[in-house]
Structure 1
Amino acid sequence: MDNNEGMIGMALGSWLVALAGGVLAAVLLMVLGDWGFMQGAFAGFVVWIVFGAIISWIMTRPLPGPATLSSDAAAQEAPAATPAPAATTAAADAPKVQPSKRLAGEEELAARKGDWKYEKDAEAEAAAKPEKTVAKTAAPATSDTDRPAALTDGPRDGGADDLKKISGVGPKLEETLNSLGIWHFDQVASLTKDDIAWVDERLRFKGRIERDDWVGQAKKLASGG
């Protein structure tokens, strides 16, 4: 009973406050806004209705009781229950299946367990693997055993000829020819095709002997031409 009377009192007070606001709004509009009496009164009525409805709804809205607040707080604080792993428990409790009777030959098989090992037949494995053929490095076309007979280990008593007089022979190439055993013009002039191949294989620029005609040049220089 007391609760209902309080609600009615709050609603009535809300409308009275709204009525005061509506009157104030009408007076301000007529005085400051130069509105007519009917216009100000209508605007004040609208303000009273809207303002009164809002205040009345706010003031008379029912609040949650203490019991409701307590139950909501308890529901938030209580942790969620973790379900027990039913599958794991069932598996642990399940009885192990034991054979009712030992099979024939089981003891012999258990005794031989771990002794047998599969090994490939050595001969079959050797036959399966292809033989590796070792490629032999081909010997060069010419070797030191084919060294031309005209070559010597050093110059003759008169000293070495100036091989740089042969077109295409520079100081470095002259040193290379000396290291091979060529010191004189007549040695170059007497080179055969095989000798030329042997010497050409040891030169940095191959084919120069025949391209520059060293043999022909050496013959002229050996004869004093």
Structure 2
Amino acid sequence: MSSTSGGWINLLIVWGIASAVGFVSMAALMLVGDWSVMQALFAAAVIFLGLGIILSVLFLNPLPGPQVPGSAGKKVVAADRKPAAVKPVANPAPAVAPAPAAAPAAAEPVPAAAKPKKAAPTPATAPAPAAAPAGTQGPGKRPAALSAARDNRPDDLKRIKGIGPKLEKLCNSLGFYHFDQIAAWSDEEIAWVDQNLEGFKGRVVRDTWVAQAKELAREG
């Protein structure tokens, strides 16, 4: 029997098995699974096609064809042949060396910009005495004042009874930031401050600021 007829017989056997399995599956689904005819037929078709393709791939691959007698010996003889020796070329022409590239012109050094010298740190100094604000006048002597609080840490002047936030800002604007400043006021300086507290005149004497400031300065 020729290889072609054998292939057709194998093909019929494979798809016959697939159809038999599909038919048995259809009958089992209708009897056991209580499927309808259409449902069982669809499932049987899927099983038939899937099984047929799988069996065809596994069992219907073409076998290698028959070898011609004596071909194996020819291949061995061909493999035993040695490659022909390559004849050397007589007096090969020397390769022309490439011309050396011209060296790049040396770039002129650019003078480095002179680095600016760092300014020496200014030593910390005590706040300068504040100048008398415009509009301050009256009897007495103006006390020594500061342009800013020492170390930028003013005392809480609101601890003095009679000084609220607004009056504390007014004292700071006049250059008074610390308890020891108020504690050192003389009678003349008290009179000057009392006269120049806009809207709060007379509060220094009435609320005894100096005595309270001395106590607070001792407490630190």
Which TM-score band applies after superposition, normalised by the shorter structure? Answer: 0.3 to 0.5
Higher Rg of the two aligned structures:
1
Q: State TM-score, norm by structure 2.
A: 0.36
Q: State TM-score, norm by structure 1.
A: 0.35
